[in-house]
Amino acid sequence: MAISDVREYTHLTDEEVEQIGRELDAIRAEVEESRGAADAAYINRMIKVQRGLAFAGRVTLLASHRKPAWAAGAAMLGVAKILENMEIGHNVMHGQWDWMNDPEIHSSNWEWDTAQPAEQWKHSHNYVHHQFTNVLGHDNDIGYGILRMAREQKWHPANLGQPVYNALLASLFQWGVALHDLDIEAIRKGKKDPKEMKRQLGQIWRKGRNQVLKDYVVYPALSGPHWRTTLTANATANVTRNLWSYVIIFCGHFPDGAMHFTEEEIEDETRAEWYLRQILGAANFEGGPLLHIMSGNLGYQIEHHLFPDLPSNRYGEIAVKVRALCDKYDIPYTIGPLHKQYGQALRTIIKLSVPNGFTTSDKPEPPSPDRAPVERGRKSDAERPSRRAELGGWSRKAS
């Protein structure tokens, strides 16, 4: 089975699928050609605002023993961390701003204000998640290795604790993300290479230690006798950022309309089919400009998955065209208010904590309901099949 056989596509001819691809290419080309000074001004302004908020928050917290200063400082710092992680760090590391040739705002250089090392994020997110979006057994973002988020995944008695694991994951999200590329499931099964694990653990330890030192030692120490209130304000800012990023990320792929796929369905995928899988596997949420900025423009998750390296400030205009295209070809385009999207994700977490027989599915039926349950965890890079196994005669010789 290929992605083009998925039920939602079956009304499309091969030529229509390729035409959709051409129309999406045209949308991409239009943005690439018009990308310029206004976009550069946007990201520079965003970084300036974020740094201003972080500075103001830290300074205000020098007087954290006063309740209004504590509240204002924690709020400013929380917003600064959200902006840095969502609208700046995540998007810079996708290479959305590399075209600017800025020595600092570049995917190679950016290290973000969270516990996961940028290098590991670029592997687990940019590569594994974006290349194998919602493909069971490959994309570890389907439940982050601890939650059962698809009915096709085997149920285990440990899943009964999902509502609790979910609450812990949300509160400690940056630490969950920090461990994401380690692939705990592979470690548990003894499949992880010890040298690679040691290398990754070393990176996580150094990054995590610096984050802890910054927020829980150095800045509190600067507050002198008020160190304790500054520490609690910093912790509040971190937890706020954790909860917010968790909600936004869970709204991207777990609302009812977002489909899951199997390895067979992505075999020999063309660019147009890859585009279609991104549309079917992602979900948007509605909101005003401020909500979209605070969520790193991931309310336009479909557009982000179609064009992960186009500047995030353009996703709004791209979304209008993509939605019209989906209407034209009668392709599902999953969108709803934030509370509805998150509510659906939360309902799935709770329902899938018990075996399938106890609940009914809220999702569109999977393309092959009879397929075998999929093992938990993700494949390693070595196990991941090449969609075109060998390049053979096409390959460049460099001997």
Partner 1 sequence: MIRGLSRDVDAVDAPFAWERDDAGDLQLVARRVTQCALSRICGACAESLGRPVAFVGDDLEIGRNAFHAPPLHLTCAADLAARVDHWRVVTTSGFEFVRATAEDEDRRPVFSPNSLLGEASRG
Distance between CA atoms of 284 and 252, rounded to whole angstroms? Answer: 6
Here the tokens at position 87 are 């609208």
The CB-of-112 to partner 1 minimum distance in angstroms stands at 14
Span of 15-23, 152-160, 216-224, 321-329 interacting with partner 1 by CB under 8 A: 15-23
Distance between CA atoms of 382 and 348, rounded to whole angstroms? Answer: 31
Give one DSSP letter per residue of 145-209, joined into a string: TTS--STTBPP-GGGGGHHHHHHHHHHTHHHHHHTGGG-HHHHHTT-S-HHHHHHHHHHHHHHHH
Show contacts with partner 1 in window 53-82 (CB under 8 A).
Answer: none
Interface with partner 1 (CB under 8 A), residue total: 52
Which among 118, 115, 314 has a CA at the least distance from the CA of 211?
115
Element (H, E) at 305: helix 301-306
338-377 footprint of partner 1 as x/- string (CB under 8 A): ----------------------------------------
Cα–Cα separations (whole angstroms), residue 396 to 264, 345, 391, 393 = 28, 45, 9, 8
The CB-of-195 to partner 1 minimum distance in angstroms stands at 6
The CB-of-133 to partner 1 minimum distance in angstroms stands at 12
332 residue type, one letter: P
- Residue 368, burial from CB neighbour count under 10 angstroms (0-12, 13-18, 19+): middle
Among 271, 328, 339, 371, binds partner 1 (CB under 8 A): 271
Distance between CA atoms of 252 and 169, rounded to whole angstroms? Answer: 16
The CB-of-280 to partner 1 minimum distance in angstroms stands at 17
The CB-of-44 to partner 1 minimum distance in angstroms stands at 16
Show contacts with partner 1 in window 279-338 (CB under 8 A).
Answer: 309
Tell me which long-range contacts 11-18 makes (C-beta under 8 A, separation of at least 24).
11/330, 12/329, 12/331, 16/329, 17/270, 17/272, 17/273, 17/276, 18/270, 18/272
Span of 205-213, 296-304, 319-327, 380-388 interacting with partner 1 by CB under 8 A: 380-388
The CB-of-250 to partner 1 minimum distance in angstroms stands at 22
Of 118 and 280, CB closest to partner 1: 118
Q: In angstroms, how far is the first alpha carbon of the chain from the final one?
A: 37
Show contacts with partner 1 in window 97-156 (CB under 8 A).
Answer: 97-101, 103, 106-109, 118-119, 122-123, 126-127, 130-131
Q: Is 32 in the site for partner 1 (CB under 8 A)?
A: yes
Number of alpha helices (DSSP H) and beta strands (DSSP E) in the chain: 17, 2
Among 34, 38, 167, 193, binds partner 1 (CB under 8 A): 193
Of 289 and 385, CB closest to partner 1: 385
Among 49, 51, 95, 243, binds partner 1 (CB under 8 A): 95
Span of 83-91, 164-172, 293-301, 383-391 interacting with partner 1 by CB under 8 A: 383-391
The CB-of-183 to partner 1 minimum distance in angstroms stands at 10
Which among 288, 289, 286, 264 has a CA at the least distance from the CA of 277?
264
Of 120 and 223, CB closest to partner 1: 120
Among 270, 356, 361, 368, binds partner 1 (CB under 8 A): 270
Distance between CA atoms of 322 and 28, rounded to whole angstroms? Answer: 11
Q: Is 267 in the site for partner 1 (CB under 8 A)?
A: no
The residues, any chain, with a CB within 8 Å of residue 383's CB and separated by 6 or more, are none
Q: Is 198 in the site for partner 1 (CB under 8 A)?
A: no
Q: Is 51 in the site for partner 1 (CB under 8 A)?
A: no
Among 79, 272, 319, 345, binds partner 1 (CB under 8 A): 272
Of 372 and 389, CB closest to partner 1: 389
Residues forming contacts to partner 1 in the complex (CB under 8 A) are: 14, 18, 21-22, 32, 93, 95, 97-101, 103, 106-109, 118-119, 122-123, 126-127, 130-131, 193, 195-196, 270-272, 274, 309, 380-392, 394-399
